[in-house]
Amino acid sequence: MVTIRDVAKKAGVSVATVSRVLNDNGYVGADTRKKVMKAIEELNYSPNEVARSLYKRESRLIGLLLPDITNPFFPQLARGVEDELSESGFRLLLGNSDEHVQKEMDYIQTFIQNNVVGIISATNHVDYHIYNEVKTPLVLLDRTTDNHPAVYADGREGGRLAARTLIEKGSRKITILKGPAHIKPARDRFQGAIEELSQAEVDFSVLSTTSYSFEEALGWAKELFEQFPDTDGVIASNDIVGIAAIHEALKRGKRIPEEVQIIGYDDIPQSRLSYPTLTTIRQPAYEMGREAARLLITMIRKETVTQSTIQMPVELIERDTTRKG
């Protein structure tokens, strides 16, 4: 391993000088600088981040905590976060929490142990006390509490929009798939949808689901059509379930959107690939990730944060599982 001492020796200067040229601060004579640069080049030296981090008591690492990278919504978030952060020279320490308090705490702890300069968390236990003890800047992503900066999409409005769309396009017996109760955004959407449905002249039923997993999605879809066979409009808890609903509807010979309309949530990439393509409420996941990263960076830089909770707009993406016009 090449260290700063090797460089100093080779350049015939002290380590202090090398450090100065590395960090580009303090006075360094023009030709001294040149000598040092040359030595760095020749030795192919790059500074040890760990030593730097130890002294400065902060690294260039950011902790990112996700519920489950395997759920297609989160890679989008993660990608947005990474793209934005890496432009500023930060790197990602990643953890999946599986919505498991213990795992979550473990990761938060390693983040701290590794001197991360900031944390972005998209998990459910944000109200858990450990978050209040975190001293490094923290941004919640796709979640909210009253205590922390956050970037999230307007779930309530999303739910309303979904319901309104189905109603306007003529569904009269709507079944709403309620997402996992412990996930806040899922509750918001549900609430929004219920608001809209309650004040409209339509029948509606609720089917509660307990997960977003691929394995179970088809199960929920099946249950949906078994329990409510005359459903002519489905508000899915997310696109995965929405796509499963398409599957199940077609399997039962129902025509989409003539007999059943289906609307999803998230607008994950694959919702464009289903047949028929899935109408859905878009959350700008990638942009949310970027936005969260941006917010975190300003906090890290101790610049004034004009807005510490950023609500991103949701948007109706009309595709082929709802009727035209």
Q: Which residues lie near its own copies (CB under 8 A)?
A: 1, 46-51, 53-54, 57, 59, 61, 64, 68-70, 72, 74-76, 78-79, 82, 86, 91-96, 107, 109-110, 112-115, 214-215, 217-218, 240, 243-244, 246-247, 250-251, 269-270, 272-275, 277
Torsion of CA 73, 92, 152, 184, to 10 degrees: 70
Closest to 53 in 3D by CA, of 114, 121, 127, 133: 114
CB of residue 60 to its own copies, shortest distance in Å: 8
Q: Per the structure block, which two tokens stand in for 175?
A: 């079944």
For residues 23 and 147, which CB has a smaller minimum distance to DNA in the complex?
23
- Say which residues have a Cβ less than 8 Å from residue 264's Cβ, sequence separation at least 6: 236, 238, 239, 241, 242, 243, 271, 278, 279, 280, 281, 321
Which stretch, 26-34, 91-99, 161-169, 256-264, contacts DNA (CB under 7 A)? Answer: 26-34
Q: Smaller CB distance to DNA: residue 32 or 277?
A: 32
Pick one of 38, 41, 42, 56: the residue that binds DNA (CB under 7 A).
56
Please state the closest distance from residue 29 (CB atom) to its own copies, in A: 27
- 198, interface contact from DNA, its own copies, none, CB < 5-8 Å by kind: none
Residue 69's nearest CA partner among 59, 60, 82 is 82
Q: What b/e readout covers 31-67, taking b as 16+ CB neighbours within 10 angstroms? A: ebbebbeebbeeeebebeeeebbeeeeebbbbbbbbb
Interface residues with DNA (CB under 7 A) are 1-5, 12-17, 19-20, 22-23, 25-29, 31-33, 45, 47-48, 50-52, 54-57
